[in-house]
């Protein structure tokens, strides 16, 4: 059970809801969990706590990770303070490569399951740094699925501007989740070619 897991998908597949349900199941069984999410969107750059929120209204407080943070040491400090049975991490695409290796070390050295959830690719069809590292070294890969408007499996994330037009250039992070739509590869390419 002490594995590094990566559940990935396109936007709107319910990754955060799946994470929160799994964390609830651990807690309901009397186990202690530590929740994490990305600090990329935090309004206060000094904040250490944020919230995991799902589109269906589930939420829970979570520690914030940022680039340069040693998540291994933070989890070790929490484990040393009392029982800890699992670590859950949302928005795993924003992890650095080093942080993914730190999470693998948590699983290997502490015997804890580390369950990461995130996007596989950005709006340009490129792997995120954290996702690339997780795809390379995670013990268990799982795909959460969602569908395109045509009914096919959505694998791509399309970013739209304020007028609804497809965006093919720009920053990989820092835009609102509502600026994205999940599409199959065919409709993603068609949207970019318009």
Choice among 32, 91, 143, 171 that is catalytic: 91
Which candidate, 87, 148, 157, 94, places its Cα nearest to that of 122? 157
Please give the CATH superfamily to which domain 4-144 belongs.
P-loop containing nucleotide triphosphate hydrolases (3.40.50.300)
**For the segment 131-184, what is each residue's pLDDT rounded down to a tens digit?**
999 999 999 999 999 999 999 999 999 888 888 888 888 776 655 666 788 999
Domain ranges of the chain: 4-144
Q: How far apart are CA 98 and CA 96, in angstroms?
A: 5
What is the β-pairing status of strands 156-160 and 33-38? unpaired
Q: What is the pLDDT of residues 35-91, one digit of tens each?
A: 999 997 666 777 889 999 998 999 999 999 999 999 999 999 999 999 999 999 999
SS (H, E, C) 44-75: CCCCCEEEEECCCCCEEEEEEECCCCCHHHHH
pTM here is 0.91
Is 91 one of the annotated active-site residues of the chain?
yes
């Amino acid at each position: 059970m002490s594995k590094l897991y990566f559940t990935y998908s396109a936007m709107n597949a319910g990754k955060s809801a799946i994470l929160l349900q799994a964390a609830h199941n651990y807690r309901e069984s009397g186990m202690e969990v530590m929740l994490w999410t990305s600090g990329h969107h935090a309004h206060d750059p000094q904040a250490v706590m944020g919230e995991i929120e799902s589109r269906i209204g589930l939420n829970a407080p979570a520690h914030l990770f940022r680039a340069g943070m040693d998540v291994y040491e933070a989890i070790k400090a929490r484990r040393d303070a009392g029982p800890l049975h699992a670590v859950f991490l949302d928005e795993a695409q924003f992890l650095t490569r080093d942080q993914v290796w730190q999470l693998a070390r948590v699983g290997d050295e502490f015997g804890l399951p580390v369950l990461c959830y995130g996007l596989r690719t950005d709006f340009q069809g490129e792997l995120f740094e954290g996702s690339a590292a997780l795809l390379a070294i995670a013990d268990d890969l799982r795909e959460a699925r969602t569908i395109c408007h045509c009914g096919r499996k959505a694998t791509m994330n399309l970013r739209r501007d304020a007028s609804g037009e497809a965006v093919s250039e720009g920053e990989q992070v820092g835009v609102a989740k509502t600026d994205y739509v999940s599409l199959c590869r065919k409709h993603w390419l068609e949207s970019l070619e318009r």
